[in-house]
Amino acid sequence: MEHNGFYSSDHSYKQDHEGRGGNVFATIVVVIVIVLLALLVVGLFWPNLLGGSTAEAPIVYVTPTPTQPSDATATPEAEATMVPEATPTPVVSDNDREMPSLDGVAPMLPGMVDNPIPDIYDAVSPGVVGVLNYIKTQSYSGKDIEELYGSGTGFVVSSEGYILTNAHVVEGADQITVKVYGEEDEREAVLIGSDTETDIAVLKVEGAVLQPLKLGDSDQVRVGEYALAIGNPLSTDELANTITFGIISATSREITIDNYTNTYFQTDAAINFGNSGGPLINMSGEVIGINSAKTITAGYDEFGNAVSAEGIGFALPINQVKKIMEILITTGYVERPGIGVTVSTVDEATAEENGVPVGAYVESVVNDRPAAQAGVLAGDIIVEANGQTITTHQQLVSIVLSCTIGDELNIKVYRDGEYIDLTIVIGNKTDMNFDDVVGGVTPTPGVDVIPTP
């Protein structure tokens, strides 16, 4: 058993110490009594010792008084003020425990008084459609069938049957159908026109009761505004007419997708595969853009594994879409000036290393189109166009875009140590197949190759 301290079985030791303890205690009690009696005697006779009156008088407790004005005269006869006893914090009555009104007023923020999103969705959703892309293929038995190749989203812009979507949603389709809100069966759609460069396509359906959406003014959109994306992520059935919410992250992003550079809105409203071609909506229920793409990787780690990116989606501003849409409806295609080459930049470092001039390096030439017809070859370096010195491929692109179809473009190229003057008649880029090239060479490592007009 554990124990602490000192224990003794010596009885004489115990008795001796107990006796001493009792005497000490008695002595302390006597001293305290004497002191108390002395204090009482002093209190009773102290006034007489100071020469005061022997008449009985009430005992007065003298305390400091509140500060008086400077002209106040104190009188000896005035009775001193009694000090009030301290009181505890008042206890709230049980009858006074009702919840008070929390009436703090929040600042008025545009669009934050109420939540308009449910009403916007109810109004806009019927105008959003599913778009399905079918291609012809063969079954195992050799029978020709139409197989679903992909799907996306579109939205109605006219009650006459016109629908906007992305060009890549319907690209290569042998048949296009749409699923109209509230209908079970798919409706066959006609492709009115498609522009691969801006990724815009116009469809039309007949005999359907459609609800067109109002197109807003994308030039007025500001960074930080709320935005809604409505579409069919992943498929046109399971997750049809899904709405997501975010903000406009940027209003003017120049992004190159599939070798075509366009200006986009950036948004963090969730956009997934299948959302392509759907509307980006503002808080007034107006279409401000077409959801077209998203970034799914932010780069690669040291082991080569993709690092995922979230909340980086892109939408084509509706104002530039309307211009292309009108051309597609009235003409069926978009004419753009082009010469039929792909080029990259030969910068000063590359030029010095290889003993060639700076300029626009011709990576490939489209077969039987203006550049090829004029004698341009893959491997040429274009150093001058219409009298302007070319130091980057972007300069050449700008010059070609400033021309009109049918104009002549005078260029100077460097080839095998010689300079050659050539004349190219500007053609329609829309008619050019950049997969059909002649004399193509391997692109220069590390140089971004983009199709030029």
Q: Is residue 53 part of a domain?
A: no
What per-residue confidence (pLDDT) applies to 78?
Answer: 42
Q: Is residue 398 part of a domain?
A: yes
Side-chain half-sphere exposure of 165, counting CA atoms within 13 A: 34
Q: Is residue 126 part of a domain?
A: yes
Show the domain range for 271.
218-330
What per-residue confidence (pLDDT) applies to 385?
Answer: 96
**One domain for residues 385 and 439:** yes
249 assigned to active site: no
What per-residue confidence (pLDDT) applies to 75?
Answer: 42
CB neighbour burial string for 395-431, b if at least 16 within 10 angstroms, e if fewer = bbbebbeebeeeeebebbbbeeeeeeeeebebbbbee
Q: Is residue 101 part of a domain?
A: no
Q: Is residue 326 part of a domain?
A: yes
Last residue of a domain, which of 313, 330, 347? 330
**One domain for residues 312 and 342:** no
**One domain for residues 325 and 341:** no
Last residue of a domain, which of 156, 176, 204? 204
**One domain for residues 348 and 318:** no
**One domain for residues 341 and 305:** no
Domain count across the chain: 3
**One domain for residues 233 and 172:** no
Q: Is residue 276 part of a domain?
A: yes
What per-residue confidence (pLDDT) applies to 129?
Answer: 95
Last residue of a domain, which of 281, 301, 330? 330
Choosing from 168, 218, 249, 292, the catalytic residue is: 168
Q: What is the signed CA dihedral for 437, 439, 440, 445, rounded to 10 degrees?
A: -170
What per-residue confidence (pLDDT) applies to 384?
Answer: 96
Spell out the residues 6+ positions from residue 418 whose beta carbon is closer than 8 angstroms to its own: none
Q: Is residue 116 part of a domain?
A: no
**One domain for residues 159 and 223:** no
What single DSSP character describes residue 79?
P
**One domain for residues 320 and 351:** no
φ, ψ for residue 434 (rounded to 5)?
A: -80, 0
Give the closest residue to 163 by CA, choosing from 137, 184, 181, 142: 181
What per-residue confidence (pLDDT) applies to 200?
Answer: 96
What per-residue confidence (pLDDT) applies to 303?
Answer: 82
What per-residue confidence (pLDDT) applies to 421?
Answer: 96
pLDDT in tens, the chain (453 residues): 333 333 333 444 444 444 444 555 566 666 676 766 666 655 554 444 444 444 443 433 333 333 334 444 444 444 444 444 443 434 444 454 453 334 344 433 445 457 888 889 989 999 999 999 999 988 888 888 888 888 999 999 998 889 999 999 999 899 999 999 888 889 999 999 999 989 999 999 998 888 999 999 999 999 999 999 999 987 777 788 899 999 999 999 988 887 788 999 999 999 888 899 999 999 989 999 999 998 877 777 788 887 777 889 999 999 999 999 999 998 888 888 999 999 999 999 999 999 999 999 999 999 999 999 999 999 999 999 999 999 999 999 999 989 999 999 999 999 999 999 999 999 998 888 888 888 654 333 333 333 333
**One domain for residues 304 and 277:** yes
**One domain for residues 304 and 375:** no
Question: Which domain CATH number covers 312?
Answer: 2.40.10.10
What per-residue confidence (pLDDT) applies to 8?
Answer: 33
Q: Is residue 11 part of a domain?
A: no
Choosing from 125, 151, 276, 292, the catalytic residue is: 276
C-alpha–C-alpha distance, residues 183 and 208, integer Å: 10
**One domain for residues 380 and 402:** yes
Spell out the residues 6+ positions from residue 419 whose beta carbon is closer than 8 angstroms to its own: 383, 412, 413
**One domain for residues 372 and 324:** no
Query: 391 with 398: CB under 8 angstroms?
Result: no
235 assigned to active site: no
168 assigned to active site: yes
